[in-house]
Structure 1
Amino acid sequence: MKTKLTNISELFLNATKKHPNNVAIIDKNDQPITYAQLAEDVKATAAYFQRKGIGKGDRVLVFVPMGIDLYRIVLALFYIGATAVFLDEWVSKKRMELCCQLADCKGFIGVWKARAFALFSKELRRIPIKLSLKKKHKTGVPIAQVPPDTTALITFTTGSTGIPKAANRTHAFLREQFDALLEEIHPKVRDVDMPVLPIVLFVNLGVGCTSVIADFKMTKPEAIDEAVIIEQITKHQVNRMIASPFFIKRLAQYTIEQKVELPQINKVVTGGAPVFPQEATLYVKAFPQATSMVVYGSTEVEPISSIDAQTLSQAPETLPEGLPVGEIFHKTEVRIIRVSDGNIPACSALALDEMTLEDDVIGEIIVAGAHVLKQYFKNDAAFRQNKIIVGNKIWHRTGDSGLKKGNQLLLTGRCAQLIEFEGGYLSPFIIENQLVNIAGVTMGTLLEMNQQRILVLESVLNKEVLAPKMGNIPYDKLQVVAQIPRDARHHSKIDYGALKLQLGA
């Protein structure tokens, strides 16, 4: 039975009472902090925020990289009932200013580079209260009791156009997400984890285990120094890793090439971007003692499903039906509905049944459940585009296409990328997997532009050499580029908008 909580920071405080001397976080510079010390710093920071005029319901823009300071600050904001507005390190100035306009923050806290950046940003300058990163107050304050639907955290999706889509994470939602992730990733008190995904470290802080911050720049993931990460893992006896596919793949390739053994690693979890069979095979080979798992989810709902790498590695490389993403999480209700460009207004259960497709038919994946985000912050358009209201239940439209086979889920890519062809759909997502298995191709996709199907390949080889290798892929034009743009967050997915601009769309 769940303990009744009114403030999500109580999860951390309860873990502190049970395990005060456990190390909570080890920073990039090898600086450790125990749960007891972190709790003391959280309360002192909360007192400082209150003294500066930050209170219940106030929004504070947090521009701080992943580390001890980030979690101290965010927990302190939760503690006093304020809202942390979190911006990723890789956000552009234009996007940051749009986020600031939307969030209308009362306070701003950031590292010195962010504060210097504020000199050139009208939106940052207009935030009335500037908070110091290091200042605390000796006198503590009581924890704020807040209604469950109080917003604790606002995070932004990675879109680069239009009004920013801000996930409104309430205290109640964060608790549901904590419980769901706890079941899926199973952290234990004695674990030493390397969580590269920021939300996972919050889960660890609610359990009492140790988190090691990976020493690399999240703004430049391609510059990762694998040897440095290996040294951290060995020094701190890290036994778990939870990171993006890009991070895990780079580390797996390095350990195989350099014949590095990491026998203490017993759990590897990845998510945030697709993982194909050939990558899963790398995980199994690189971390033979570990249980490796791929989690499928999104900003609005995590997890949706999961699959172990061993099973995925045995899937056919050509993926004739779709990419297996495993068994649907038991708290997630999943349906596949007809692909539709328009909004789907509130409807009856019968109307939703009529939209729902049979197993083995490609359509849009929609999900419902207690750990599914119910609302966006000040963005009714995003709600209408992404939600379906059926009675008291809110379904989330993932925008992903796929199909069900009983309780197993397969992905066929983003709905927006599907290409109508001969009465059905071509899935660029599946074609992309076929392309990376062709010698000389590092990445590729099929785009529909100007009523033509353009096959784009990232390769050092020329068209004449590549064309005969394309098999039965139905394209009108072949284009070879030096580099296909990737997403800024995980550096794993194709940035289709940027690619179209690169091609002159």
Structure 2
Amino acid sequence: MDAATVNVGLRLTETARLNPEGIGVVEPLGHDAGGKRIYRQLSFAELDEDTNRIAAGLRTMCVKPGTRLALVVRPGIDFISLVFGLFKAGVVTILIDPGMGRSNLIRCLEEAEPEGFVAIPLAHAVRKLLPHRFRKARFNVTVGRRWFWGGPTLRQLRQTSLDGFQPAKTYAGDPAAIIFTTGSTGPPKGVLYRHGNFNRQVDEIRDFYDIQPGEIDVPGFPLFALFNAAMGVTTVVPDMDFTRPADVDPKDIVEAVHDWNATQAFGSPALWNTVSRYCEDTGTKLPTLRRALSAGAPVPPHVLQRMKDVIHPYGDLHTPYGATESLPIASIAASTVLRETAKLSREGKGTCVGSRFPGMQWKIARISDEPIEHINDIEQLPAGEIGELLVCGEVVTREYVTRTDTNALHKVRDGEKVWHRMGDVGYLDEQDRFWFCGRKAHRVETASGTMFTIPCEAIINNHEKIYRSALVGLGPKGQQRPVIIAETWPEHRPADEAESQRLISELLELARSSPLTQQVETILLHPSLPVDIRHNAKIFREQLAVWAAKLPIVAST
């Protein structure tokens, strides 16, 4: 391979050369008679060989570089091996979170036009039952037992000879994967990742967090851990349902950290809320964890504090900020939040997501719902003024390959570069840190002005009985009526209607105490706010607006 070749799969090969016997990936099996967890593991050398055989096997099937294959496999050794094997084969891997629901999953797969499936039997059964939706799918590999369809199994690919095998020659601009957004503010969109995007992601994350070869990571979100092996880091796959992080059994995360003396772990805010509460209640510590990470939504300060209390005394929890289209963008440490920014967030200043990664540029533009063709067409705002965030850098993807009509609304040209409109609103402070104030699509436009979700919700969330809340707007833009919908902590759920009304009265008084929420005259209680399944944290405010509008108490006022 020449110096211009870019492929994260080759970084695994380099890791295997430097540390062949190091543990590459570990997955949980059952428990022995004594209750001790049993694990399966591969060394970096074994993982590298496994991925080479998979790539070689795909080549024997006449799969060429650039072929689109959908990967539908449960997290574990097979998933990691297949991702790297597909990279080495030059395949464009279609990655879809099964947590988005069956109808969304099938629709996204159809829109991505896969030329084959590398998938578990159930996914192949769906493919066969819906042949009109997957007409191009002719390169199919079964991960597990093959039923009533053709094509090789993963086990057969792993038996392929490596004689004469060479990985595909790929470059930074070559397509590498299609990854779908969560669809939290519209239909999920297929984001085209190129090899250069992935390669830069590895460098940015490794260098910013000073991740060293030999570290051990317990990832609560599989995509975030894909490139551990490229950094020489051991991946310990936890025993959990990755589509429902809030429902994790915290003992399984603690067990993985303790069994392997993990130095790093990643989880959504909902996962760390569950784990940290368990640790607080039981007095459990995670003393080997020096770096915890959380992303997907703002992490509440009480979760940051609990995590700080249970990990290594000199450790920290970091909250990288980004999106499917651009990750990572910025990061902030829990120690900074607790010491400095949390107080301001409680006052309605927004959530500080920190300073940008060295390879990133950003600007704040006047809010607009119209396309912006060129970066010179934006009205850039000064520090302290809320607008829409635009970002640029080598990790920023250049286009959607499904729902392509949305490219005009999200991509802004700048010569050879492309800026991505995040769809997030907020402002930069005097230290060039971004303060997140919500999604552009969620802003509430009243006759008195614009209200932003995160600052307004922070006022209500200050009540000791409230877990989280959501600001929604009812009616036409410019004349919207602001309504706040609140969810209590489970232990504070009202026992009857009288108790509910007392709580609502307290929340209305709280709303009147801040200029940010003085317009709010209606507050509703909801048993469980609808959230995205990927992170169990992003609130589906559009659904709540529809729900609220149908309530008699709202419709009659």
Give 1:279 deviation, angstroms: 2.6
- For residue 238 of structure 2, what is the aligned residue in structure 1? 214
Distance between the aligned counterparts of 1:18 and 1:445, measured in 2?
50
Structure-2 change in CA distance of 1:156 and 1:337 (3 Å): same
Please show how residues 195-234 of structure 1 align to structure 2 within 5 Å: 195-234=219-258
Give 1:132 deviation, angstroms: 2.3
Give 1:124 deviation, angstroms: 4.7
- For residue 192 of structure 1, what is the aligned residue in structure 2? 216
Name the % identity: 24
Structure-2 change in CA distance of 1:67 and 1:260 (3 Å): same
Distance between the aligned counterparts of 1:6 and 1:404, measured in 2?
34
Any unmatched runs of 5+ in structure 2? 30-38, 144-153, 551-557
Q: Does 1:127 align with 2:152?
A: no
Q: Which amino acid aligns with 1:21?
A: E
Structure-2 change in CA distance of 1:116 and 1:504 (3 Å): farther
Please show how residues 39-188 of structure 1 align to structure 2 within 5 Å: 39-122=48-131, 123-124=133-134, 127-133=137-143, 134-135=154-155, 136=157, 137-140=159-162, 141-159=165-183, 164-188=188-212
Report if the CA contact (8 A) 1:178-1:203 is conserved. yes
SS in 1 for 2:420: strand
Distance between the aligned counterparts of 1:493 and 1:43, measured in 2?
38
Report if the CA contact (8 A) 1:276-1:323 is conserved. no
- For residue 324 of structure 1, what is the aligned residue in structure 2? 352
Q: Does 1:488 align with 2:498?
A: no
Give 1:72 deviation, angstroms: 1.1
Compute the RMSD of aligned alpha carbons: 2.1
Please show how residues 258-407 of structure 1 align to structure 2 within 5 Å: 258-289=282-313, 290-314=315-339, 315-316=342-343, 318-348=346-376, 351-352=377-378, 355-406=379-430, 407=432
Q: Which amino acid aligns with 1:132?
A: T
Give 1:223 deviation, angstroms: 2.2
Report if the CA contact (8 A) 1:295-1:303 is conserved. yes
SS in 2 for 1:20: coil
Q: Does 1:6 align with 2:9?
A: no
Tell me the TM-score normalized by structure 2.
0.85
Report if the CA contact (8 A) 1:98-1:164 is conserved. no
SS in 2 for 1:31: strand
Distance between the aligned counterparts of 2:473 and 2:186, measured in 1?
22
Distance between the aligned counterparts of 1:252 and 1:286, measured in 2?
8
- For residue 554 of structure 2, what is the aligned residue in structure 1? none
Report if the CA contact (8 A) 2:73-2:79 is conserved. yes
Any unmatched runs of 5+ in structure 1? none
Give 1:323 deviation, angstroms: 1.1
Distance between the aligned counterparts of 2:4 and 2:50, measured in 1?
25
Tell me the TM-score normalized by structure 1.
0.93
SS in 2 for 1:149: coil
SS in 1 for 2:391: strand
Q: Does 1:412 align with 2:437?
A: yes
- For residue 36 of structure 2, what is the aligned residue in structure 1? none
Residue deviations 1:397-423 (CA, integer Å, cap 9, x gap): 111111111322211111122223575
Q: Which amino acid aligns with 2:204?
A: A
SS in 1 for 2:62: coil
Moved more, 156-165 or 260-269: 156-165
Moved more, 378-387 or 230-239: 378-387
Q: Which amino acid aligns with 2:25?
A: I
Q: 2:520 aligns with which of 453, 472, 475?
A: 475
Give 1:153 deviation, angstroms: 1.1
Structure-2 change in CA distance of 1:318 and 1:218 (3 Å): same
Distance between the aligned counterparts of 1:164 and 1:482, measured in 2?
26
Residue deviations 1:25-53 (CA, integer Å, cap 9, x gap): 10132211111111111111112212223
SS in 1 for 2:99: coil
Structure-2 change in CA distance of 1:70 and 1:331 (3 Å): same
Residue deviations 1:227-250 (CA, integer Å, cap 9, x gap): 122112111111211222221222
Q: Which amino acid aligns with 1:131?
A: V
SS in 2 for 1:271: coil
Q: Which amino acid aligns with 2:457?
A: E
Distance between the aligned counterparts of 1:277 and 1:224, measured in 2?
21
Give 1:102 deviation, angstroms: 2.2
SS in 2 for 1:489: coil
SS in 1 for 2:456: helix
Report if the CA contact (8 A) 1:187-1:204 is conserved. no
Moved more, 273-282 or 332-341: 273-282
Structure-2 change in CA distance of 1:305 and 1:104 (3 Å): same
Distance between the aligned counterparts of 1:271 and 1:260, measured in 2?
23
Report if the CA contact (8 A) 2:326-2:395 is conserved. yes
Report if the CA contact (8 A) 2:184-2:540 is conserved. no
Distance between the aligned counterparts of 2:208 and 2:522, measured in 1?
44
Give 1:197 deviation, angstroms: 2.9
Residue deviations 1:40-69 (CA, integer Å, cap 9, x gap): 111111122122231211110100121111
Give 1:90 deviation, angstroms: 1.2
